[in-house]
Every structure is written in structure tokens, then in C-alpha cells.
């Protein structure tokens, strides 16, 4: 059915495409969520489990943003703005993980260097 | 008309070549852009919370693993994912000018959100019953309680706000006071709430499953 307030050539016209596509994406998300729980059931080492779960979560989020939130249907400049900005912010925030690992392992500078006199 | 008015009038109707009057930036409507900008900011907030959680977890020698069953997490995830689908169907119906269909799907989404919130609260009560508080728990470092309740509480707050927004927008849509764009903007928020849950479940629940 055509949406009366949507121009046929506009990105929003894609909101009224076949409903089967949405159900297929929904099933994909369910499968990815099930994969998360499967990874947890393997009782892996924390870092190994975290890496796998993070990867699956990023894929899930990407699918949700692109298809459920229709970012793929928006104008390319807006799509790029959102993606680049989010990646930059998230990338900066992720420094927290690596920095906490640095303080845990002591490489570099978290532990005193041998032979260096501490004040 | 003064000389200044005539000067202003001449500037009002003169556009440089290539300029199109009235289009919003990126051709994204203002309401939708505002919601996207809010989502980006809120995503950074949740990312900051999760990063801080990771920092605390890495630095704690006795981080507890109190979750013995995945059942509740599975159920909550299924409900929230399904609510995203129903919201999508509501937006689709709104764009297709199906007023009753859009209202129906929006209300179904709201009900699923309420069920999710109730399951979440029930889980909280079970953990509190087992001795877990913001500052203490019987399994390990006292940081666990504050981290868990903070992150899941912030998400629950977003779910609650989304439920209220869906109720208000759904009812006003039914009364004819809203456009399809309003339903779409509410849908963006609801999908974001689901998106955050995709990160909260593995990091806060699944990584803390008892071995």
C-alpha cells in the first residue's frame, strides 16, 4: 500500500516495502541473540567470551540500526555522519578497556621499572 | 517602506546558485534528526557506563558470578526483540496511513515493554532477596551491586520512559493529533532501547554466569 505522505522516490518510501523482509531480519536477530547465549554456555575464559560476544553484539546492533531504524534508507550524507561519529565516540570510549588492561598487566608504566628509584 | 526594509526584502528573495530554500540538513526532518542526535548521545552514555563496568571488573580480584540460569535473560531478550518488530510494523502501518493498525502495533509494543519491565523488576527482587544491595552482596566485591543496578536500572528507566511515550503518542495518534513521523520517531527511540539491551545482556548477565 502506498503511503500518502511519502513521495515514491524518497528514502521513506522504503518503509512500506514487504513485511516479509522485516520478519526475516527479526529471525536473524533472534539467531544472533541465541548465539550470544550459546557462547555463554561454552564457559570460555572471560576475555575469549567477551571478544566473541562483543563481535556478535556489534553485528546485531548494526543490523538493528540499518534495518529496524532504517538508517540505510536515509540520505548517504546523514548515514555517514551517524556512522563516523558513533565509531569515533565508541572508539574513544573503548580506550577505557585497554587502559584498564594496561594497568592490570603493568605494560607500560603501571608498574615501577626495575632499578628506578621511586620518590 | 524604508530603505532598510527594501534592502531586506531584496535579500529575502535572492538565493545563491544551488541553494534550495526550506530543506533541513541532510534532508532529515527536524524531529527525526533531534531523536538521532539524542540516540547518539545516549549511546555514548551507555558506552561510558559499560566501559566503566569493564574497568571495575578487570580491576577486581573477586568479581562474582551470581547468575545461575539464563532463562530470565533469554525471555527478556526475546520480548524486547519482538517488541522491536511490533514497533517496526507499527511504523510501517503509520507510513501506509493505516491508522488503526499503527495504533494496535504501538500498543502491543507498549505492552511488551511493560512485561519486560515487570520481568526485570522481578529479577531485581530475587537478587535483593539473595542478599544483594547497592553496596553489598554475599558473593564477592561490593562493586558488583552498584554496577549491576546502575546499568540495568538506567536501561529500565529508558524502557519505562519509552512505554510512557508510546502510550501518549499512540493515544494521540488514535485521536488524530499525530503524524506518521511521530510514530517513526518513537520507534527510533524504542529500537535504541533494544539495541542497548543487545550489549547489556552479554556483558552484564552472560559474562557473570556461574560456572
The string of pLDDT tens digits covering residues B159-174 is 999 999 999 999 999 9
The percentage of chain A sitting over the pLDDT mark of 70, rounded to a whole number, equals 64
Does A31 lie at the interface with B, CB-CB under 8 angstroms? no
What residue ranges in chain A does DSSP mark as E strands?
Answer: none
**Helix locations, B96-142, DSSP H:** 99-129
Query: What pLDDT does A87 receive?
Result: 81
Q: Is B101 contained in some domain? A: yes
Touching check for B151 and chain A: CB below 8 Å?
no
Query: Is residue B42 domain-resident?
Result: yes
Element containing residue A109 per DSSP (H, E): none
| Most confident stretch, A96-100, B144-148, B162-166 | B162-166
Going from N- to C-terminal start, the domains of chain A cover 1-74, 75-106
B86 pLDDT band, cuts 50/70/90, is very high
User: In this structure, what C-alpha cell is assigned to residue B19?
Assistant: 541553494
Number of domains in chain B: 1
CATH number, residue B129: 1.20.120.80
* Contact predicate A60/B194, CB 8 Å: no
Domain residue limits at B166: 29-208
User: Would the CB atoms of B77 and A5 count as touching at under 8 Å?
Assistant: no
Has the ipTM of the complex gone over 0.90? Answer: no
- By the 8 A CB rule, do B136 and B145 touch? yes
Is B46 inside any structural domain?
yes
Q: How confident is the model at residue B11 (pLDDT cuts 50, 70, 90)?
A: very low
A27-84 residue pLDDT tens: 999 999 999 999 999 989 888 999 999 999 999 999 999 999 888 888 888 888 888 8
Residue B202 to chain A, least CA–CA distance (Å): 6
Average pLDDT over residues B98-127: 96
Backbone phi, psi, residue B117, to 5°: -65, -40
Average pLDDT over residues B92-98: 91
Q: How far apart are the first and last CA of chain B?
A: 83
The answer to the question of residue B200 being in a domain is yes
Q: For residue B56, give the chain A residue with the closest CA.
A: A100
User: Are A82 and B191 inside 8 Å of each other by CB?
Assistant: no
If you count them, how many residues does chain B have? 211
Model pLDDT for residues B21-43, shown as the tens digit of each residue = 555 666 778 899 899 999 999 99
Does residue B17 fall inside a structural domain? Answer: no
Amino acid at each position: 500500500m502506498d503511503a500518502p505522505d511519502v513521495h515514491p522516490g524518497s528514502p521513506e518510501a522504503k518503509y512500506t516495502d514487504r513485511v516479509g523482509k522485516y520478519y526475516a531480519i527479526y529471525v536473524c536477530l533472534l539467531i544472533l541473540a541465541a548465539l550470544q547465549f550459546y557462547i555463554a554456555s561454552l564457559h570460555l575464559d572471560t576475555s575469549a567470551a567477551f571478544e566473541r560476544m562483543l563481535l556478535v553484539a556489534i553485528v546485531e546492533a548494526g543490523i538493528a540500526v540499518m534495518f529496524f531504524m532504517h538508517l540505510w534508507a536515509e540520505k548517504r550524507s546523514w548515514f555517514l555522519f551517524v556512522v563516523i561519529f558513533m565509531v569515533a565516540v565508541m572508539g574513544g570510549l573503548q580506550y577505557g578497556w585497554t587502559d584498564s588492561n594496561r594497568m592490570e598487566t603493568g605494560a607500560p608504566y603501571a608498574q615501577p621499572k626495575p632499578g628506578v628509584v621511586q620518590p | 517602506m524604508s530603505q532598510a526594509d527594501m534592502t531586506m526584502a531584496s535579500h529575502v528573495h535572492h538565493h545563491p546558485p544551488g541553494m534550495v530554500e526550506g530543506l533541513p540538513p541532510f534532508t532529515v526532518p527536524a524531529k527525526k534528526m533531534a531523536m538521532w542526535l539524542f540516540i547518539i548521545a545516549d549511546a555514548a552514555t551507555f558506552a561510558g557506563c559499560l566501559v566503566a563496568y569493564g574497568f571495575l571488573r578487570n580491576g577486581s580480584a573477586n568479581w562474582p558470578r551470581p547468575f545461575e540460569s539464563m532463562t530470565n535473560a533469554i525471555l527478556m531478550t526475546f520480548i524486547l526483540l519482538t517488541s522491536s518488530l511490533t514497533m517496526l510494523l507499527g511504523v510501517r502501518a503509520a507510513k501506509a496511513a493505516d491508522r488503526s493498525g499503527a495504533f494496535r502495533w504501538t500498543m502491543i509494543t507498549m505492552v511488551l515493554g511493560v512485561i519486560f519491565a515487570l520481568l526485570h523488576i522481578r529479577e531485581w527482587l530475587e537478587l535483593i532477596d539473595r542478599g544483594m544491595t547497592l553496596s553489598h552482596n554475599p558473593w564477592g566485591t561490593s562493586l558488583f551491586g552498584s554496577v549491576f543496578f546502575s546499568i540495568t536500572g538506567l536501561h529500565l528507566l529508558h524502557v519505562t520512559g519509552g512505554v510512557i511515550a508510546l502510550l501518549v503518542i499512540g493515544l494521540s495518534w488514535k485521536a488524530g493529533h499525530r503524524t506518521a513521523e511521530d510514530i517513526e520517531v518513537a520507534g527510533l527511540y524504542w529500537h535504541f532501547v533494544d539495541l542497548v539491551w543487545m550489549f547489556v545482556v552479554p556483558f552484564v548477565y552472560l559474562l557473570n554466569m556461574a560456572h
